[in-house]
Structure 1
């Protein structure tokens, strides 16, 4: 099969629309993963034994099962229980929850690395738990976490093709639709690979610049 630039021009608008959906899902899932991951990290360090054990059980259960199975559960099983999610929403929830279990470990490592003296100083100043976390601990813990958290965002972006399994018309979904309709796979799949490579490289470069900026500020 020869490469056809005419076919490339024909399918490019659909693939660009799919890329836009992919970026939207990545951004929304990233926000969910970062917020829920922080909640998981704090809960796993809670002094309340029940909360700590329940959170560990939940996060381990999510992390130890395949993302594809979780997506199928959200999209195909929940409707049997009366909960109907669109492919887009199911994809955002699935990716966000799955990667929240990984970002929680990044948060936990960063929080543990905050010197014990900071906690003691907060108690000596009679700060509340909320003030200790928001004004003392997290401002010190989060900056070193940004590079690994950024890498997880890139990983989520590269994971989005799996969402085509629940009929999400992202970049991969659009490419498969075009390929199945025309019986030409060379151009769509090649363009998908190129698109993911370009966006991933640009994202990695931005993370490197951000990491360099943080190091300069800390110096």
Structure 2
């Protein structure tokens, strides 16, 4: 078993940090925003009085949640070009991760909406508030407060699944670590450093999320 080489570790660290900041973190932020926005749309679609919309939304959410991310990546990146739709690897990664986690976020939103007391809906009706104002002024502020911890956990999970994008060649951190390993036949240092960077980025966020959850529960 080869010994740990600090000189090699220091050599690969700058490129791994650049890949983390430029791709891993950027993909997480872009896909996270997509998941948050689209998740709300899907949650509202599930609650629609139009059965066609609610059933279609339900089917879409269940289908996406029931299929693995690598298969979705392969389908979008390698399958859609046969239908004339070509997306870059980076765009594919953001869309697939964003849509995948939007389906999970829709369930988070749905739980938050269901937690709003029925009496508040009835009060809004008694006050003749429009549906738009009811959602904007009464429902959504409460929903956002209730779902913040769960939404944070979903974004952390999304962050930790960015390495799946290696299957379509996105130059995120694990992809760069793998390239170093394939060139030098030493995987221990780059892969270990990549794992530590993930840990250092995700663990403090997880702690803050738990503290936020405990504070909102008071």
TM-score band w.r.t. shorter chain: over 0.9
CA shift for structure 1 position 61: 0.9
For residues 83-125 of structure 1, the C-alpha deviation after alignment (integer angstroms, 9 at most, x for no partner) is: 2111111111000111111111111011001011111111112
For the residue of structure 2 that corresponds to 1:38, the secondary structure is helix
For residues 6-30 of structure 1, the C-alpha deviation after alignment (integer angstroms, 9 at most, x for no partner) is: 1112111110111111011111111
Structure 1 match to 2:82 = 80
**Corresponding position: 1:210 with 2:212:** yes
Q: Which of 28, 31, 36 is the matching residue for 2:30?
A: 28
For the residue of structure 1 that corresponds to 2:3, the secondary structure is coil
Structure 2 match to 1:12 = 13
Cα distance in 1, alignment partners of residues 60 and 213 from structure 2: 31
For the residue of structure 2 that corresponds to 1:177, the secondary structure is helix
Cα distance in 2, alignment partners of residues 10 and 112 from structure 1: 52
Structure 2 match to 1:180 = 182
Cα distance in 1, alignment partners of residues 80 and 209 from structure 2: 37
**1:1-219 paired onto structure 2 within 5 Å:** 1-20=2-21, 21-215=23-217
Q: CA RMSD in A?
A: 1.2
Moved over 2 A (4+): 208-215
Cα distance in 1, alignment partners of residues 68 and 46 from structure 2: 22
Structure 1: which 5+ residue stretches go unaligned? none
CA shift for structure 1 position 213: 4.9
For residues 154-211 of structure 1, the C-alpha deviation after alignment (integer angstroms, 9 at most, x for no partner) is: 1011111111111011110110111111111110111111111111112112323433
